[in-house]
């Protein structure tokens, strides 16, 4: 029983211990449970993390490869692009160089050539100088001509005056005005007077001054174009002496129109002219100019064509019948007219061809001989007469 008591005393303690131990276990259970959970979670976490790490690594590798691939592609694109751009830039730069040169060349050669302009301006100024010289020469020439003309006019005037004053020339006895004995040498007028030809004291033909005349008022100064009528005397002149006819009568008489007699009024060949007139009028009215032939001559329609030989204007040609020398004198062998040889044999052929010409020719010869004989006789007679007269 003691043990029981002890057990009973310890029972509450046991109960408490049992409870306490159970609860203590529970307390620890939670802690241990929590600890186990923690350990497990931690371990699981590690596992997962390892797995994740692994996954990450793998994913990285994949992504790395893929990104490398993409990047390389991209890089190639960029390189291509860059390359193209570089090429284009190069081409552009070269094109700019070419265009620069070409534009410069084109403007300089075709649009505006500075050197050409310079040359042109130089040419212009040279032309200007040439023109200026030429014009000055021209002006000088004109001046010289004018001066010459003036001098000539002066000379003419002086000459004319000298001719008018010719009577002032000094003679052997009396020295003239210009040759005063007190002078050393005579005045130049004296020499001029000596040279001049004296003027004939007729009305000089040099100038005709028509003072109060119609020609002065009208424009044309041609000498032939105006009436040379006498002017009436001016009103306030003193009256001329003598009985004069009435002026109106005189003018009437002077300007009386012609009143010819009937005999004179008609022309002398009036009849002939009237006939001609009539003929002209008839001719005007003719429709057909051919003469109207009567029917009896209707068959005579052949027109007679005369020989040219006889119908030419100058008659038959003497060449071939009268003379045989060529018409053109240049073709002649000698200048003189040759005579026919006296020997008849030469003329025989000629006579056979043209008998009538031979006769004419011989007749001419005989005439010539007779003339010569007559001349000789006359000469002899003259000589005799001279001898007689001497």
**Can you tell me which of 37, 77, 81, 218 binds another protein, judged by CB under 8 A?**
218
- In sequence order, the β-bridge partners of residue 185 are none
Asked if residues 178 and 189 have their Cβ atoms less than 8 Å apart, the reply is yes
Smaller CB distance to another protein: residue 225 or 349? 225
Smaller CB distance to another protein: residue 252 or 277? 252
**Can you tell me which of 15, 58, 98, 139 binds another protein, judged by CB under 8 A?**
139
Task: Write the CB contacts of 165 (distance below 8 Å, at least 6 apart in sequence).
Answer: 193
Of 184-213, binders to another protein (CB under 8 A) are: 212
Residue 227 Cα to chain centre, angstroms:
47
Q: Cα–Cα distance between 70 and 63 in angstroms, integer?
A: 10
User: Taking the complex as a whole, how short is the minimal distance between the CB of residue 281 and another protein, in angstroms?
Assistant: 28
Asked if residues 164 and 200 have their Cβ atoms less than 8 Å apart, the reply is no
DSSP structure class, residue 166: G
User: Taking the complex as a whole, how short is the minimal distance between the CB of residue 69 and another protein, in angstroms?
Assistant: 60
Residue 250 as a binder of another protein (CB under 8 A): the answer is no
Residue 117 as a binder of another protein (CB under 8 A): the answer is yes
- And the tokens for 317? 């040609």
Q: Cα–Cα distance between 282 and 288 in angstroms, integer?
A: 11
Residue 125 as a binder of another protein (CB under 8 A): the answer is yes
Q: Cα–Cα distance between 248 and 377 in angstroms, integer?
A: 79
Number of residues near another protein (by CB under 8 A): 33
Q: Cα–Cα distance between 360 and 347 in angstroms, integer?
A: 13
Give the burial class of 190: count Cβ atoms within 10 A of its Cβ; 0-12 exposed, 13-18 middle, 19 or more buried. buried
Token look-up 């403007």 returns 107
**Can you tell me which of 217, 253, 345, 349 binds another protein, judged by CB under 8 A?**
217
Smaller CB distance to another protein: residue 9 or 121? 121
**Can you tell me which of 181, 227, 267, 320 binds another protein, judged by CB under 8 A?**
227
User: Taking the complex as a whole, how short is the minimal distance between the CB of residue 205 and another protein, in angstroms?
Assistant: 22
Residue 142 as a binder of another protein (CB under 8 A): the answer is yes
**Can you tell me which of 171, 173, 202, 229 binds another protein, judged by CB under 8 A?**
229
Q: CA torsion 347→350→356→358, rounded to 10°?
A: -20
Smaller CB distance to another protein: residue 50 or 130? 130
User: Taking the complex as a whole, how short is the minimal distance between the CB of residue 127 and another protein, in angstroms?
Assistant: 4
- The helix (run of H) or strand (run of E) holding residue 193 is helix 188-195
**Can you tell me which of 51, 66, 120, 319 binds another protein, judged by CB under 8 A?**
120
**Can you tell me which of 48, 81, 135, 177 binds another protein, judged by CB under 8 A?**
135
Asked if residues 354 and 320 have their Cβ atoms less than 8 Å apart, the reply is no
- The beta-strand segments (E) located in the chain are none
Residue 253 as a binder of another protein (CB under 8 A): the answer is no
What is the binding site for another protein (CB under 8 A)?
Answer: 117, 120-121, 124-125, 127-132, 135-136, 138-139, 142, 212, 214, 217-222, 225-227, 229, 231-232, 235, 251, 255
């Amino acid at each position: 029983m003691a043990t029981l008591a002890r057990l009973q005393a310890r029972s509450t303690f046991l109960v408490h211990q049992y409870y306490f131990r159970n609860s203590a276990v529970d307390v620890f259970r939670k802690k241990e449970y929590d600890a186990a959970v923690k350990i497990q979670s931690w371990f699981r976490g590690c596992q997962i993390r390892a797995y994740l790490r692994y996954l990450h690594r793998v994913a990285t590798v994949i992504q790395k490869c893929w990104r490398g691939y993409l990047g390389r592609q991209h890089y190639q694109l960029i390189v291509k692009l860059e390359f193209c751009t570089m090429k284009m830039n190069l081409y552009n730069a070269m094109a700019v160089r070419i265009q620069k040169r070409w534009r410069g060349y084109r403007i300089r050669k075709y649009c505006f050539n500075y050197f050409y302009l310079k040359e042109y301006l130089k040419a212009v100024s040279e032309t200007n100088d040439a023109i200026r010289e030429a014009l000055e020469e021209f002006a000088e020439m004109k001046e010289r001509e004018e001066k010459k003309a003036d001098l000539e006019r002066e000379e003419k005037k002086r000459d004319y005056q000298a001719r008018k004053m010719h009577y002032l020339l000094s003679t052997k006895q009396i020295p003239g005005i210009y040759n005063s004995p007190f002078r050393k040498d005579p005045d130049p007028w004296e020499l001029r007077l000596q040279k001049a030809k004296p003027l004939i004291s007729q009305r000089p033909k040099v100038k005709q001054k028509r003072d109060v005349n119609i020609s002065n008022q009208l424009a044309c100064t041609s000498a032939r174009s105006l009436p040379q009528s006498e002017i009436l005397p001016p009103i306030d002149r003193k009256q001329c002496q003598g009985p004069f006819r009435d002026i109106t009568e005189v003018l009437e008489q002077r300007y009386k129109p012609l009143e010819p007699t009937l005999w004179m009024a008609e022309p002398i060949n009036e009849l002939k002219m009237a006939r001609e007139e009539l003929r002209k009028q008839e001719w005007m009215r003719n429709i057909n100019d051919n003469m109207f032939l009567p029917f009896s001559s209707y068959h005579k329609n052949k027109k007679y064509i005369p020989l040219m030989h006889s119908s030419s204007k100058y008659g038959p040609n003497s060449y071939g019948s009268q003379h045989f020398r060529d018409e053109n004198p240049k073709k002649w062998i000698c200048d003189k007219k040759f005579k026919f040889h006296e020997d008849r044999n030469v003329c025989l052929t000629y006579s056979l061809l043209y008998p009538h010409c031979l006769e004419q020719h011989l007749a001419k010869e005989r005439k010539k001989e007779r003339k010569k004989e007559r001349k000789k006789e006359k000469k002899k007679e003259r000589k005799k007469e001279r001898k007689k007269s001497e």
